[in-house]
Chains A and B, each alone.
Chain A
Amino acid sequence: MKASSIELRNLSKRYGNVAAIHDISFTVAAGTLLTLLGPSGCGKTTTLRLIAGLEPPSSGTVLIGGVDVTQTPASERDVSMVFQSYALFPHMNVIENVGYGLSVAQIPKAQVHDKAHAALAAVGLTGFDARLPSELSGGQQQRVAVARALVLEPSVLLFDEPLSNLDARLRRQMREDIRDLQRRLSLTVVYVTHDQAEAMAVSDRIIVMNQATIAQQGSPRELYEHPHDIFVAAFMGDANRVRGTLRRVDERMGELEIGPLSLEIEHRGLPQGTVDVAIRPEAVEIGAPNGKGLPGTVRKATYVGGMMEYTIATELGELFVVNLAVDRPLAPGSVVSLTLAAHGVVPIATS
């Protein structure tokens, strides 16, 4: 397969007065999986549709494999897409659906059949040829949609929230399957989701989008550990947002004061003074009240299996905390003392 790179240059799309996306630029290296992550309505689908050529951009350029395809209609781009609704043709059975793109390209029948079979085998759906889409489960439909897109050996494959219609268990399995397939065939994939965990699991790179623009891009680890702003921090794992003060900055480390607490952290180039601080729920350690630490009172306690979720009122505001000590749950009203683990505390320039 001949995977191609994708490059978007200053891409914008307006619907009337609404900017669905505004001045978006990024590149996807050939053979890698990039995820567009962001809350609903931030412009992910629009970006994908512009890459596919389903709509013309208001301004900007789309390059695929280094060639400007901005004016090329969808049917002539070497791009396949897996739709959120799957968009299987309801009047065609599984094999006809998968073979459709090949038959449109006027490839001989026998060859269409063989290739379609191979694609179905690749997604683990051998023996379903004659079923109609309405006779398949959600997960099977999803696989047919993937096979249909794969069979054309496109240089770019697009997924629009492909797992959002599946139940939690199937989601996990399908996302691993998609990632395997992508690695095995070294496909160039742009993957859209609003689920942070899903994005972390499948991506080489992630672009977090917010309100029609790119908030930050990077590897999953970079985004998680070094969010540029509080939006990204909050979106990548439910971070609590509090105010703090950088007291002393060395070459690399600094002393961060949060209320009564003080800890050594990487200052990431921030100057001394007031900063925003993102605190991961799992970075908060709960201890018995002892005069040191940050005093707090448990407001809510929820058992979610495997861990406890607490909402704890403190002088910094309410903090959302997860804790693995399920054997010794705290009742609402308990008075506690909190400390922070440095790896889950990220200072961010105040906005």
Chain B
Amino acid sequence: MIRKYGAIALWLCVGAAGFLIVPWYALPGSVLSLDWLRDFATGDSAPAIVQAWRYGRTWLLPIGALLAAGCTLLAPRFDRSLLAHALLALGGIGFLYTLAQGFLIGSQAASLQGLATGGQQGMGLGATLALTSFAMLFAVGLAGRGYFGGDAFIAGSVVAIVASTAIFTLFPVLRIMVSAFDDANGLISIAAFLDRLLQQKVWGLGCLTGAARCGVAWNTLILALLTAGGTTTLGLAFALLVTRTRFRFKKLLRALAILPIITPPFVIGLGLILLFGRSGLVNHGLEWAFGIEPSRWLYGLPGLLLAQWLSFTPIAFLVLIGVVEAVSPSMEEAAQTLRASRWRTFIDVSLPLMRPGLANAFLIGFIESISDFGNPIVLGGNFSVLATEVFFSVVGAQLDQGRAAALGILLLAFALAAFFAQRVVLGRRDYTALSGKGDSGLPAPLPEPARKLCYALAMPWIVLTVTLYAMTFLGSFVEQWGRNYAPTLNHYARAFGVEIGPQGGLIWVGSAWNSLWTTVKLSALAAPLTAALGLLTAYILTRQRFRGRTALEFGTMLSFAIPGTVIGVSYILAFNVPPIEMTGTALILIACNVFRNMPVGVRAGMASMAQIDASLDEASATLGAGRFTTLRRIVLPLLKPAVAAALVYSFVRAATTVSAIVFLVSAEYEWATTYIINRVTNGDYGVAIAYSTVLIVLMLVAIWLIHSAIGERRLGRRDGVVRMGMAELGPAA
């Protein structure tokens, strides 16, 4: 009980600080610069109390009144249940009122005549603290009512997760819906939506008759289906090679499979241009040897398909390798003792057992393909897909946010359709129960024709991937690919030049430094947040039983399927006006990365949590440890591999992402990937590939750093290796 009062007092203090001391509204500069201390209590940087007092923003007063009312709850005369009810009411009303006044009273003065004369800016630090305070008081109230096992820490975590997901995932997605239905006059209109969606440019079938180009929707779908089919087939072939044959290059295959995951998504596209592009090696060779005109086949569906196959096969491979290994050899041995031939065994037993894995790999390939922005922008040519079309609707000459929103929704619909289709295909059959524990026996070797087919698929892929990366690397050291192969360090100098200044200090003259620092800094900030939020969610989902748990789990699974492009568009639509005004700031870049990658942390965490027996938590509880202590001293040390994986992935994905971030960068906060894409679209390949190379090396260093910082988990000699669901995660898009 004492502890609970401590929590109430703490959160009331936080709320009071938000109301009385720090600037209520967002400042043009960073609140961390502390400039606001200088003109404290005047103008924009005044706290809420002053805003209400001196600037007529009286609608802020109820917030202060609620906080003051909260202080009376600290008097110990309330009984337990009354206190809990009061906290629920106070927290709930405070939270909703604070949000509502923000939404209802925008920057236009006239939004609520008579009441809101001054209008107001977006919420700042003060408003954030007040909201947090109300939400946490509500959580303490929930715990007091006996929810979440009466544990305030768990209640607070659940409230924080739900509230932040609602603000940073649900709200933007709803906002994009509104924009898509918004007609020119600010009214909701289905006609406007249909008009945007049912255009010839979207659904046209002109390409069938050869008269015109097909619509972007068809392009996207065809590309995604072909890509997913290809990556699943290739991935299965590789997985079989590695597990069921004596393939000589197993190690190489596994190493190569990691590469596309840590490289920015367009690097493969760039490499393909160097190889097959108009002034690429192959075209040059053909022209020189046979006088064949350079062809442009690469820029369009064929090139894109090739690029996506190369980029996304590794994820399918990593998903399927786990699946193939999980097929119990004794099952296959049983089939053989029943007189089935190797081929029949493979077709009748092994393949059906892999069905859920194949469906999963197909789904991931499909979603990666429709989310991919980097390759289409580099290679697409006239073949446009939704991801790029949405982008040009917002930043191009069209500047039509409604159209961008409508196309975004279409993209989202494709992703969700795939997501639900996968669930339907898998049905309710439980395959995992079929692979019993402690199975031994030898995996059946692959039938001869299948083995040959796998070889035939793998070898070209390996050769091409090695060539592409080698060329990207080499290409960064020559003057101009295709024209002048003289060795040079010029590109690196232009991008990453450092000079000694007249006063002796270093001057970062390279043009890439700005974007590189931003990327590294903000990714490094986002990664621990992502990992913490993701793992906490995983812990709560696996260890707590409460109403709405399945909904929460489903929500996180679902947000995994939202394409980055949709997130990007929805963020600019949702967060460029008060009450949450973040466009052009570092904050929006961090938030975007955190909430986009959080599902990855959740998955990694849930996979690992499943391997930690719940009786360990319970033992800790009977020994007197609260939930938080248990989390810190028992669960977290055992989760080390998952922590490392979550950190690595959230960092790498943040640093190499394109599709969402491309909407959110500004002159001040530029991202490495968007900088590179700008160089590519300007034809400046040298700097682009030099920068890509640096980025790849940087990612390897970061992975190494994270792993050595987290350290090993020592459980003694009998410890089984915990295999991280790396495959589940996939690269950035």
Contact = CB atoms under 8 A, between A and B. Distances in A.
Contacts of B149: 56, 73
A46 B718 CA distance: 31
Interface in A56-109: 56, 71, 73-77, 79-81, 83-85, 87-91, 100-101, 104-105
B186 to A, nearest CB: 50
B614 to A, nearest CB: 9
Given A71-B150, A85-B615, A80 B715 contact: no
A22 interface: no
Given A56-B149, A73-B149, A73-B150, A91 B623 contact: no
Contact of B716 (A53, A77, A105, A133): A133
Interface string A287-303: 00000000000000000
Given A90-B638, A104-B629, A134 B623 contact: no
A53 B626 CA distance: 13
A74 B621 contact: yes
Interface in B449-465: none
B618 A83 contact: yes
A20 to B, nearest CB: 14
B714 interface: yes
Contacts of B714: 91, 132
5 contacts: A75-B626, A75-B627, A79-B622, A100-B633, A134-B716
Interface centre among B620, B622, B715 (most CB of A within 10 A): B622
B399 interface: no
Interface string A9-29: 000000000000000000000
Nearest to A135: B716
Given A91-B638, A134-B716, A75 B150 contact: no
A87 B622 CA distance: 11
A152 B719 contact: no
A189 to B, nearest CB: 14
A80 B637 contact: no
Contact of B621 (A54, A56, A105): A54
A72 to B, nearest CB: 9
Interface string B600-642: 0000000000000101101111111111010001100110000
A185 to B, nearest CB: 18
A148 to B, nearest CB: 7
Contacts of A149: 622-623
A85 B616 CA distance: 9
Interface in A124-146: 132-135
Interface centre among A88, A89, A101 (most CB of B within 10 A): A89
Contacts of B613: 85, 87
Given A101-B623, A104-B625, A105-B624, A91 B618 contact: no
Contacts of B622: 52-54, 74-75, 77, 79-81, 149, 158
Nearest to B713: A91
A90 B620 CA distance: 12
A90 B715 contact: yes
Given A134-B716, A135-B716, A135-B717, A89 B150 contact: no
Nearest to A154: B622
A81 to B, nearest CB: 5
A304 to B, nearest CB: 30
B728 interface: no
Contacts of B626: 73, 75
A83 B616 CA distance: 9
Given A74-B618, A81-B619, A132 B715 contact: yes
Interface centre among B616, B623, B633 (most CB of A within 10 A): B623
Nearest to A93: B716
Interface centre among A49, A74, A152 (most CB of B within 10 A): A74
Contacts of A148: 619, 623
A205 B150 CA distance: 34
B621 A134 contact: no
A158 B615 CA distance: 14
Interface of B: 146, 149-151, 613, 615-616, 618-627, 629, 633-634, 637-638, 713-719
Contact of B624 (A132, A133, A152): A152
Contacts of A75: 621-627
A76 B151 CA distance: 12
Nearest to B616: A87
Interface centre among B620, B624, B625 (most CB of A within 10 A): B624
Contacts of A71: 146, 150
A73 B625 contact: no
A89 B625 contact: no
A217 B713 CA distance: 47
Interface in A147-162: 148-149, 152, 158
A87 B616 CA distance: 5
Interface centre among A104, A133, A148, A158 (most CB of B within 10 A): A104
B618 A87 contact: yes
Contacts of B151: 73
A191 B184 CA distance: 74
Nearest to A80: B622
B717 A104 contact: no
Given A84-B615, A87-B618, A134-B719, 17 more contacts: A54-B618, A54-B621, A54-B622, A56-B146, A73-B621, A75-B622, A75-B627, A80-B623, A83-B615, A87-B613, A87-B615, A89-B616, A89-B620, A134-B715, A134-B718, A135-B718, A158-B622
Contacts of A49: 618
A73 to B, nearest CB: 6
Contact of B637 (A91, A104, A152, A158): A91
B623 A104 contact: yes
B713 A100 contact: no
A186 B613 CA distance: 32
Contacts of A81: 618-619, 622
Nearest to B640: A91
A328 B613 CA distance: 53
B1 to A, nearest CB: 11
Contacts of A158: 622
A91 B625 CA distance: 17
Contacts of A100: 620, 623, 625, 633
A104 B623 CA distance: 8
Contacts of A90: 638, 715-716, 719
Contacts of A79: 622
A148 B620 CA distance: 10
Contacts of A132: 714-716
Contacts of B627: 75
A140 B613 CA distance: 20
A75 B634 CA distance: 14
A87 B619 CA distance: 6
Interface string A273-290: 000000000000000000
Contacts of A89: 616, 619-620, 634
Contacts of B718: 134-135
Contacts of B616: 87, 89
A48 B716 CA distance: 31
Contacts of A135: 716-718
Contacts of A105: 624
B610 to A, nearest CB: 15
Interface centre among A53, A75, A148 (most CB of B within 10 A): A75
Nearest to B150: A73
B87 to A, nearest CB: 17
7 pairs of A and B residues whose beta carbons are closest in the complex: A101-B623, A134-B716, A132-B716, A87-B619, A87-B615, A74-B621, A134-B718
Interface centre among B150, B627, B634, B716 (most CB of A within 10 A): B716
A76 to B, nearest CB: 8
Given A73-B149, A105-B624, A83 B717 contact: no
B241 to A, nearest CB: 34
A104 B624 contact: yes
Contacts of A77: 622
Contacts of B150: 71, 73
B226 to A, nearest CB: 46
Nearest to B638: A91
